[in-house]
Structure 1
C-alpha cells in the first residue's frame, strides 16, 4: 500500500530556474544546484515507479517515499522506505549517475566526471544509509510499536542502494558491494532475501513476528507523522512546496493521505502537558461503551488504539468519524491524542491521558 509520495518540489525548481538566469557567481551556483537537483529527482522518480509497480498495491507492504526524520539533533533523509508484515524495514537510497559508478577495493565510491575525464571521489552511500537507519531505529523506538506477549516486536533493518538501471557499475572483487543494486533488481533482491532464510528463522518470524496489514499501515502512518520537511533558511535543500509568508520562505509538506505536523502560521493545538482539569469530560471525546464514564486512558493493543475505562475496566474501540468519505486518524503526542483528518485539514484534541 502506498502511504506517502514524494513531496512536490516544483516551486523550488522554478525558483532555481529564475535564479540561474544571467551571469555571475550566484547564477552559476543556482544553475549547478538546479542540474544536481534535477538529476537526483530523475533517479528518485525512476526508483519510485519501480517500487510502486511491485509493492504499491500489496496489502502486505507499506511504501513511503521521501521521509525526513529528526531525532535528538540528528536527521535522516530517506528516499524510500518499505515495511512488510514481518516488520522488515528496507531503507533505500537512490543515486543517479550520468556516466557510471566505480567501487574500489577499499569500498570507496567514485563517479565518472565526463568533463574532467576522470573519476572523482564521493561520500559512501552505504555509510550514509547506515546513518539514516540509526535515526530511523531511534524514531521507531519512540512511537507505538506492535507487541507480542507484552514485548515489542523487534524490527529488522535492511540497507540497499538503488542505481539507475542503465548506469554502469564497476565493482571490486575484494569489497562486498552486493547492497548496491540496479533499481529494477529490487524485487528479485527482496525475494531472494526471503527465500534464502533458514526455515527455522522463517518459522520463527511467521509465528512470533508476523503482523496484519492493518498493523503495517498503522506503523507506517506513525512514521509519516514524524516527517519534517526542510526549510530554505535551514541552509539545506528543501523537500516540499514553497510559500512566502512574512518575508521568509516556509515549506508546506505534501504528505498523503495523512499529513505530518509542520510549521503553520495559524495556531495549532499544543501537545505540551497541561494542569489536570477538574473533570475528565473537559479533555476527552470518548466514553466507555459499558458504563458511559469518560475517566480512563487510551492505550494501544493488537487491533490498534482503545479506551480503558477507570470505572469498570472495560475496553472500548476508538472509532473516529468525519464527513462522508473522509478517513480521520488518531495521532499520539506524549499524553495527548489528536483527531486529525487529512481530507478536511482538521486537527483537534481528542483525549489526554494522565501524565
Structure 2
C-alpha cells in the first residue's frame, strides 16, 4: 500500500529556470545550472525507484510504502527517499542515487561517479543512509511512535538499501572485506527483497503472530509516521549567493512591487505551464517559503497612492454598490478613494 508519494518539486525547477534567464554573471549562472541539474537528476532517480517500488508493493496489504520522508529531530535532519515497512516492522530505508555515467565502489568502500569518463569522489551513500537509520530509530523511540502488539512495543529491524538507476554502470569490488551488497540497481531490488523474506512462510508468520501487526495497524503506523514529514524549504538566493544580485527588476515605466503576503521584494518571472505559459508575472523573492504571485497588470494597481494624503491605498468593496474601489489605508482618519475605472489621481479629495 502506498501511504505517501514524493513531494512535487516542479515549483523549485521553475524558480531555478527563471533565475537562469536573468542577467547574472557567468559564474553565478554556472552555479544555477549545476543546482538545477542536480535537482532534476535527483528527481529522476527517485521517480525511477518509486516506479519499481510502486509496481511491486502498491497492492500489498502486508507492506506500506512511504516516498520522500523528511524527519527533523533534535536539530538533525534525515531526508529519506523511500521507506518500505512490513507488518513485522521490518523497515527498508532506501537511498536513491542517479549517476548517468555510473558509479564505482573500491575495496575500501570509497564511492566515485564518472563524468566525461573522469572519476569524482562522493560521500558514501551507505554511510549517509546509516545516519538516516540512526536518526529514525531514535525519533521513533523518543516520540513513542512504535506500535504495540499484545501490550508489547514492537522493535523494528532496519535494512540499509542504496538504489541506482538501472541504466547506470555499477562497479563493485571483486575482492576485499567491504560489504556493499546493499547497493544495487533499482530494477533488481525485488530479487533482494525475495531473498530476504524467503523464510517468511505461513508457519513462521503464525509463530510470530505476537509481533505481527494487522494490516490496519500497519497502515495506521505508516500514516502517523508520514504526518511527521517536514518539507524542505531551500532559500536558493542565499544558497547560490544571489541575494545582492537578485534585486527586483526596475525600469522607468514600472517598479517591482513588494510581496503583499510577506513584504519581500518580488521578482519578474515567466509562467512555464498552463493557460498563461510565456506570460510574465511577479513572484516573491522569498520563494519557496512564500509562494505569493501577482499578475503584471495587477501590480500596477498596487502603486496607487491616496490623492488626499499620499498614503497607501487598498482595494475595497462598496457595501451598497457592491463595486470595487481603492480606499485609503488610513481610513477613517483619511477617506480618500479612487474608482477602479478612473485613472490614477482622479479620486475624491
TM-score between both structures, scaled by the size of structure 2 = 0.65
* Counterparts of residues 1-355 of structure 1 (less than 5 Å): 1-21=1-21, 22=23, 23-114=25-116, 117-141=117-141, 142-172=143-173, 173-174=175-176, 175-196=178-199, 202=204, 206-233=208-235, 245-246=261-262, 247=264, 248-251=286-289
Alpha-carbon contact 1:244-1:250 (below 8 Å) kept = no
Matched residue of 1:134: which SS? helix
Change (3 A) 1:184 1:236: farther
Once residues 232 and 217 of structure 1 are traced to their aligned partners in structure 2, the CA distance between those partners, rounded to angstroms, is 31
1:236 offset after TM fit, Å? Answer: 7.0
Matched residue of 2:197: which SS? helix
Change (3 A) 1:71 1:205: farther
Considering fraction of residues, name the structure with more strand: 1
Farther-moved stretch of structure 1 (9-18 vs 227-236): 227-236
Change (3 A) 1:204 1:103: farther
Matched residue of 1:105: which SS? coil
1:204 offset after TM fit, Å? Answer: 8.0
Once residues 12 and 150 of structure 2 are traced to their aligned partners in structure 1, the CA distance between those partners, rounded to angstroms, is 48
Q: Deviations over 1:92-143 (max 9, x none)?
A: 00100111111001000011121xx321100000000000011111222214
> How many residues align structurally?
245
Once residues 201 and 157 of structure 1 are traced to their aligned partners in structure 2, the CA distance between those partners, rounded to angstroms, is 23
Once residues 58 and 203 of structure 1 are traced to their aligned partners in structure 2, the CA distance between those partners, rounded to angstroms, is 16
Once residues 6 and 109 of structure 1 are traced to their aligned partners in structure 2, the CA distance between those partners, rounded to angstroms, is 26
Once residues 121 and 244 of structure 1 are traced to their aligned partners in structure 2, the CA distance between those partners, rounded to angstroms, is 45
1:205 offset after TM fit, Å? Answer: 6.6
Alpha-carbon contact 1:82-1:89 (below 8 Å) kept = yes
Once residues 159 and 245 of structure 1 are traced to their aligned partners in structure 2, the CA distance between those partners, rounded to angstroms, is 43
1:144 offset after TM fit, Å? Answer: 3.4
Once residues 168 and 207 of structure 2 are traced to their aligned partners in structure 1, the CA distance between those partners, rounded to angstroms, is 36
Unmatched 5+ stretches in structure 2:
241-258, 265-285, 292-349
Alpha-carbon contact 2:63-2:84 (below 8 Å) kept = yes
Change (3 A) 1:71 1:167: same
Change (3 A) 1:135 1:87: same
1:187 offset after TM fit, Å? Answer: 1.4
1:20 offset after TM fit, Å? Answer: 1.8
Matched residue of 1:57: which SS? coil
Unmatched 5+ stretches in structure 1:
238-242, 254-355
Once residues 93 and 168 of structure 2 are traced to their aligned partners in structure 1, the CA distance between those partners, rounded to angstroms, is 21
Q: Report 1 or 2 for greater relative contact order, CA contacts < 8 Å, sequence distance ≥ 6.
A: 1
1:249 offset after TM fit, Å? Answer: 3.0
Matched residue of 2:287: which SS? strand
Change (3 A) 1:236 1:134: farther
